[in-house]
Amino acid sequence: MPEGKLCNRKPIETEEELKTLLSDTGGKKYYEEMKSLDVDSGLLWKTIGNTLKSRTKTWLEICAHCGMCADSCFLYLANDCDPKQVPAYKIQSTLGEIVKRKGQVDNEFMHMVMETAWAKCTCCNRCGMYCPHGIDMGVMFSYLRGLCYQQGFVPWELKIGAGMHRVYRAQMDVTDEDFVETFKWMVEENEEDYPGLEVPIDKEGADILYTVNAREVKHYPEDLAEAAILFHLAGENWTVTSTGWEQTSLAMFAGDWAACKMQVESVYEAMERLKPKRMIGTECGHAHRATVVEGPYWAGRSNGKPPVESIHYVEWLAEALREGKLKIDPAKRIKKKVTLQDSCNYVRNHGLKDITREIMSYIVDPGYFIELSPNREHNYCCGGGGGFNGIGLFRPQRNKGLITKRDQIIESGAELVIAPCHNCWDAIRDLEEEYKIGIKWSFLKPIIISMVEIPEHLKPEE
């Protein structure tokens, strides 16, 4: 069978296709069909010819096979130093091999490639920092995912995820109406405690355009409320957009570059329509990477920047605390051992390593903040990045992958892990569920709300 009904090389384009694929519980039929999916070697080789240029070609060629990348990889460490988890081996045995064979690979081989690309690499890019040649295997795996996606060898959840972006311009089935309605609902629910709380929708020329992760709308809208409350308390002139509000991109994890472009353009259109001074995204790592770091390139913006200055939530928060827009009650600062999880996507890949520590200095009583080791741009992936968290098929591998982070946290002795990133937050929650090491975990917003001083004029009447 060349292509299956569910598992094929065509991306999801309509709501109906999406529902059909979703109704295939656990992707049983999907993966069954994948077993007989043909590889379009011609297309594969043509794509490689068009996109695998000197940088990647050189990376593949000059790899000295020195193995210095081995222990930079958290999956290598978590899997008891299994040589098959050496980053260079993983990429050479997949992408390297495809190139060597000029795309003449079979179904079985592509299955192996799929597992390697999604279950043995989270594209955390740490190995690239440890290769003397500067070979970034995370970047190559991301590229490889694109090839896999094109051939239809992509985990079920990510085919759906990319489809969600194509159909809803959001990672979950949340419509624009749902978004606006949920935000309003959250404001209603909190306006008694915070008089004057509002969510300005589609306001032109605001100082801040706030973008979110669809999961907040769908499952924990408290996060939206918290964002609104903090902007309100800080006296910010902010707004949200009724379309183009989704900052994340599962399409990036899936390697569906066309969908990446569609998704990010919807956000840029909102920026151009509302002309805010700045865009601020929620506490999410890959959302920032997708919309602020990589997005401009998908959208073909030659200066590598989004239409308006775009910053991560932690940058705004640090600024608000620094400038006194938000004041912390010193008595309520954290007084237990607390550590910080650096998100690969905006720390290693966007340099925001000091800003989060500045926030810690405001909200943690002196002496209680502990660093993980290693940290900052050298920090390990939480274990669930790059889509790993959500792929049912690779769940055992994911759980194994959490071990590196678990040991890092245990070693630090922290009781609370602050993870200003959805993926990290999920992974650390799952880590506690799986291994029960007795830690708590949190985003920044609820912590700030628990300790922020409410200005006199914004207090509710008693």
Partner 1 sequence: MYEFLTGPMFWLSLGTCFIGITVRFVLYFKGLNWQLERVAYKAYPAQGLKGALNSILNWLIPFGTCGWRKQPFMTLIFFGFHIGAVLVPLFLLAHNIFLKEKIGISLITLHPVIADILSWSVIVCAFLLVLRRISLPEVRILTTAYDYFILLLSVAPFVTGLIARYEIGNYSFWLTTHIICGEALLIAVPFTKLSHIALFFASRAQLGMDYAIKRGGMKGKGMAW
Partner 2 sequence: MFKKILFATSATEASDHAARVAFNMAQAYDASICIFHVLGVPTRGFSQIVMDVKTKEKVEIDDEYIAWVKEEIKVYYSKQLEKAKSYNINYDIKVAVGFPHREILREARNYSPDLIVLGGSTGDDEDSVYKKSMVGSTLQRVAKAAPCPLLVVNRPAASFWGGISQIVFGTDFSKASDAAFKFSVNLAKDLDCELHIFHALDISNMHMGRLLTQDEIESQIRESLRRIRGRYIGELKEIKDYSFDVWEGLPYVEIVKYAREKHADLIVMAHHTQKTSNEDARLGSNIEQVIVRAGCPVISINK
- From the CB of 147, what's the least distance to partner 2, in Å? 22
405 part of the interface to partner 2, by CB under 8 A: no
What Cα–Cα distance (Å) separates residue 190 from each residue in 193, 199, 239, 401, 451? Answer: 6, 11, 17, 39, 17
451, two tokens: 């300790």
- Range in contact with partner 2 (rule: CB under 8 A) among 9-17, 134-142, 157-165, 411-419: 157-165
Residues between 368 and 387 that touch partner 1 (CB under 8 A): 374, 376-378
Among 280, 352, 271, 264, CA closest to 308: 271
303 near partner 1, judged by CB under 8 A: yes
Query: Does 1 help bind partner 1 (rule: CB under 8 A)?
Result: no
Binding partner 1 (rule: CB under 8 A), the pick from 5, 28, 53, 459 is 53
Kindly state the tokens that stand for 450: 């628990």
CB of 25 to partner 2, least distance (A): 5
211: enclosing H helix or E strand = strand 208-211
Q: Which of 5, 55, 219, 336 binds partner 1 (CB under 8 A)?
A: 55
CA dist., res. 179 & res. 440, Å (int)? 29
Which of these, 272, 271, 274, 219, lies nearest to 247 by C-alpha position? 271
Q: Where are the beta strands (DSSP E) in 383-455?
A: 416-418, 440-442
Does residue 68 bind partner 1 (CB under 8 A)? yes
Of the candidates 2, 42, 49, 134, which one interacts with partner 1 according to CB under 8 A? 134
CA 367 to chain centre: 31
Residue 61 interacts with partner 1 (CB under 8 A)?
Answer: yes
What's the min distance (Å) between Cβ of 206 and partner 2? 27
| Cβ proximity of 412 and 450 under 8 Å | no
Q: Which of residues 195-234 bind partner 1 (CB under 8 A)?
A: none
Please say which residue, 84 or 277, places its beta carbon nearer to partner 1: 84
Number of amino acids touching partner 1 (CB under 8 A): 58
The answer to whether the CB of 423 falls within 8 A of the CB of 159 is: no
User: Residue 184 burial by CB count (10 A; 0-12/13-18/19+): exposed, middle or buried?
Assistant: middle
- For partner 2, the binding residues in 265-294 under the rule CB under 8 A are none
Does residue 209 contact residue 236 with C-beta atoms inside 8 Å? no
The footprint of partner 2 (CB under 8 A) covers 22-23, 25-26, 157, 160-161, 171-172, 185, 189, 192-193, 215, 218-222, 250, 384, 389-392, 422-423, 426, 429-430, 433, 440, 446, 450, 462
The footprint of partner 1 (CB under 8 A) covers 51, 53-55, 57-59, 61-68, 70-72, 76, 81, 83-84, 86, 88-89, 92, 128-136, 293-294, 296-298, 300, 302-304, 346-355, 374, 376-378
